[in-house]
Structure 1
Amino acid sequence: MKPQHQFTQSQFEVARLGPCERTSPLQLSTTPGDGRCDYTPDDMRILFEPRFRAGEPICPLSMEHAGARERIYFDPMEVKAAIVTCGGLSPGINNVVRTIVLELIHNYGVPEVWGIRYGYEGLNGNVGRPPIALTPEVVENIHHRGGTILGTSRGPQLPADTVDFLTARGINMLFCIGGDGTQAGAHAMAQEVERRGLKIAVIGIPKTIDNDIEFCFTTFGFATAVGQAEIAIDRAHVEAKSVYNGVGLVKLMGREAGFITATAVLASGEANFCLVPEIPLELHGPDGFLAKLKRRLLAREHAVVVVAEGAGQHLLDEIQGADASGNRRLADIGYFLKAEIERYLKAEGIPTGVKYFDPSYLIRSLPAEAVDSLICERFARAAVHAAMSGRTDMLVGLWHNHLVHVPLGTSTGLKKRLDPESELWTSVLSLTGQEKW
């Protein structure tokens, strides 16, 4: 988490298209305690830092609380909305698409919702495929499927081209589902919209299976990924214990953040080593990983090692360049570790059998499990409420279990990292005992 003194209140103020002069069609309540769900007051805020020490001043920084507003900006009958999904797959994308469509059409009465094909390419008429109409019938059962029915791609398009596309088709509400690169593209579009003086709401919904988006404690798909990763670790444990000096090696997602790896290790309880990008990986020497693994095998005759894909990159030959999303290309730490473990133990005269698991693409393509389905519902509805109230150039975040509005100009470019001083990492070290070997 970025230190609070590096933010100012103005960085949390969300842009709006204009005054909200229409009454919401949702017919919620404004009277607490009457047995009906209430609108969220427009001035309701969530503290940036709710913790404080007795006697010390409370940090006044706050963010807008997300939720349905009593007064809205758009006339629902004049809304033409579009949804785009970008970047890598994550469980729950279709859930978000489905809920946006149903909330717009059934609850707000919006007549048209369109699905943009294959990411931001679909917002460039020169290279993309035409959008498809999204109706309740089209999205009825998509939440039971993995992937995205809209298709996805990586890489940006020129904001001028994408805004031309939106204006040519009369689209005045765009929901962008994706990670930091996607939200950076959404921010660029919102700035182009503002420069032209247009009234188009651009709303981001954070999607990253790595759970590394700032201002979002948990992103959708993370719980499903952890659950499936736990199964892989458990299977690796079975393989490791079934042979003399067996080693189960599991590589999980996590380019720059070790949240999936650390959380899955805790959920499983069977790992003996957890290697994440935030903690430098030392292979050699008496306190290096290989020596510790040897001592573990001599003492217990088996070991389970779980490594995040971004760990130990300094040990491998650097791969030049980046992918279309701007992500640094990674070398394969999994195969590298497998070879190094086998080479080292052979040189030490220790017989072993290393079983290597890489369930990454299997996990990414799964449908969302129950916990993620619920998070998807919350994010999607909050995004629709924000757009209908005329907010723009923002994403929906999750802060201290409350949904909040975060300006894209503040959130993009920041990445959440696993804190070595956190309870999460301390718990991993206590469970694995990897420091004692």
Structure 2
Amino acid sequence: MATQSNFQMKVTEGQLGYVLQDVPHITDYIPNLPTYPNPLRFNPAYSVVKQYFVDMDDTVPQKIVVHKDTPRGVHFRRAGPRQKVYFTPEEVNACIVTCGGLCPGLNTVIREIVHSLDYMYGATKVLGIDGGYRGFYSKNTIPLSPKIVNDIHKRGGTILGTSRGGHDTMKIVDSIQDRGFNQVYIIGGDGTQKGAAVIYEEIRKRGLKVIVAGIPKTIDNDISVIDKSFGFDTAVEEAQRAINAAHVEAESAENGIGVVKLMGRYSGFIAMYATLASRDVDCCLIPESPFYLEGQGGLLEYIAKRLKENGHMVIVVAEGAGEDLLAATNEQDASGNKLLQDIGLWLSQRIKAHFSKQNKLPITLKYIDPTYMIRAIPSNASDNVYCTLLAQSAVHGAMSGFTGFTSGLVNGRHTYIPFNRITEEQNKVVITDRMWARLLSSTNQPSFLGHKQLEEARKEQEPQSQLMDDADAKTGYKERIKK
């Protein structure tokens, strides 16, 4: 099975508190490799571009709000084509694998990796690994060409299939070595990227000329560092359909209540953004913000208040919300994620039971769970563009010899991020931040937190300032890198 990553980050320090958290390069462990002129300089599509290539010194800051006396802080290497490449078109033997749950945009990423390798770099040998990481064991592959993948972005899911778990590093690298793959593109979430990190380390240990490039995938938007994950915009847009249906149902009945459960195991971004976009939601419940049902200031009291005021209401709840209220379970899925009980169904039953005891306020409740409808749809226009750029950035990085990286958007710029920065923590809604305050003011719902709980939340969820906290911030990054 996969072991814990011992990923060693490359760090370069500059003036004024500048820190570059760099990604590995193939020449770090295979020196004196030959280089070749980048084929893009001969590509008619790029003939009108004033500057073909990204400068080797171009980096992107993680924090963009600065004061005149604050350090420049952490930067990542900017993504894009370089003047020299480390593979000839004939030499490239690439494979693509998708792992974990479905997400809008998977097929778009696959398509654009294939198109970029072929149309930009003239590389035509690309295979898809069938069925996630397990596909390396069974050695089932799918040939990929521009013609084969041309229309797949119009479909949901992944043409390569996917699976959870099944990660045996040695078997995977053996398969990569036996088949002669020298570029491995891995599309998946937090667990998948952790697997990619240990695959890279084993490849480096064996001294193989093999690039490992990750593309982060999570519909929940819970991957840290990057601005957002692909598929998130599509999920928020599609969630509007469920919320609209719940609103119509609720508004059409006396004391109507619409309950919509959206994805968000540990992070409530889909629920929060769908609520803000909808404007028809009266209450949004997410994992990061505890709530309680009974008593003064509880959810049931708030529901009664809203029904008396408006005659109907809509509640959006993320799948991981209210976990402390449900019976604990130790069951896990194949990826090691804790299996959650259905908070939407539980909440609906508790609301019905509560108001059935109060003859003065009969209710009509409709429960909608669009989870798998949202996951399985094709990506929208915004995500299609984003997926295209992520894929192109990954291919540019691989051809330029960078490895052990994830392609991601940071402050609007495409970058190469070390695996360990992507996997070190999950991105979560900070309930002491402005965005959650905007939601509360939009729905006009209570926070359901007492003064003591708010103080604890402030301490536990201290939002990361856009500024470096102090002049010793650089030292703090050094200590984290050592760990």
Q: TM-score, normalised by structure 1?
A: 0.94
- Correspondence list, 1:49-88, <5 A: 49-53=63-67, 55-88=68-101
CA positional deviation for 1:70: 1.1
User: Quick one: which of 137, 140, 145 aligns to 2:147?
Assistant: 137
SS at match of 1:396: strand
Alignment partner, residue 3 of structure 1 = none
Q: Return the offset for 1:48.
A: 1.6
1:93 equivalent in structure 2: 106
Alignment RMSD: 1.9
Distance 2:350 2:201 in 1: 49
Instruction: Return 5+ residue gaps in structure 2 as ranges.
Output: 1-9, 13-18, 28-32, 449-483
Report the 3-state secondary structure (helix = DSSP H, G, I; strand = E; otherwise coil) of the residue aligned with 1:12: strand
- More deviation in 7-16 or 86-95? 7-16
- Report the number of matched residues: 425
Give 1:26's match in structure 2, choosing from 25, 37, 40: 40
User: How far apart are residue 261 of structure 1 and its match?
Assistant: 0.3
Following superposition, the deviation at residue 419 of structure 1 comes to 1.2
Distance 2:52 2:269 in 1: 35
Are 2:327 and 1:317 equivalent residues in the alignment? yes
Cα deviation digits, residues 394-420 of structure 1 (max 9, x gap): 101111111111111222142100111
Paired AA for residue 51 in structure 1: V
* Amino acid paired to 1:14: V
Q: CA deviation at 1:75?
A: 2.1
User: Any idea what the Cα deviations from partners look like across 1:413-433, whole Å, max 9, x if unmatched?
Assistant: 421001113332121111100
2:348 counterpart SS class:
helix
| Deviation at residue 138 of structure 1 after TM alignment | 0.8
Separation in 2, partners of 1:164, 1:378:
31
CA contact (8 A) 1:114 1:133 kept: yes
Distance in structure 1 (CA, Å) of the matches to 2:335 and 2:435: 29
Which consecutive aligned stretches of 4+ in structure 1 deviate over 6 angstroms post-superposition? none
- Of residues 201-210 and 69-78 in structure 1, the stretch that sits farther from structure 2 once superposed is 69-78
Measure, in 2, the Cα distance between the counterparts of 1:69 and 1:35.
Answer: 14
- Paired position in structure 2 for 1:386: 397
Quote the residue 2:54 is aligned against.
40
Matches within 5 A, 1:118-157: 118-124=131-137, 128-157=138-167
SS of aligned partner of 1:330:
coil
| Residue among 123, 134, 140 paired with 1:110 | 123
The residue matched to 2:41 in structure 1 has which SS? coil
- The residue aligned with 2:388 is 377
Cα deviation, residue 35, structure 1? 4.8
Contact 2:225 2:410 survives alignment (8 Å): yes
CA distance in structure 2 between the aligned counterparts of 1:296 and 1:429, rounded to whole angstroms: 15
- Whether 1:247 aligns to 2:257 is yes
2:177 matches 1:163:
no
Aligned equivalent of 1:361: 372
CA contact (8 A) 2:20 2:74 kept: no
Distance 2:42 2:292 in 1: 58
Structure 1 residues 338-365: Cα deviation after superposition (integer angstroms, max 9, x where no partner): 0010011122332001100000100100
Q: Indicate yes or no: 2:346 matched with 1:336.
A: yes
- Structure 1, unmatched stretches of 5+, are 1-6
User: Letter of the aligned partner of 2:185 in structure 1?
Assistant: F
State how far apart, in whole Å, the 2-side matches of 1:56 and 1:160 are.
49
The separation in 1 between residues aligned to 2:21 and 2:165, in whole angstroms, is 27
C-alpha distance 11-47 of structure 1, shift in aligned 2 (>3 A): closer
TM-score (norm. length: structure 2): 0.85
2:183–2:211 Cα contact (<8 Å) kept: yes
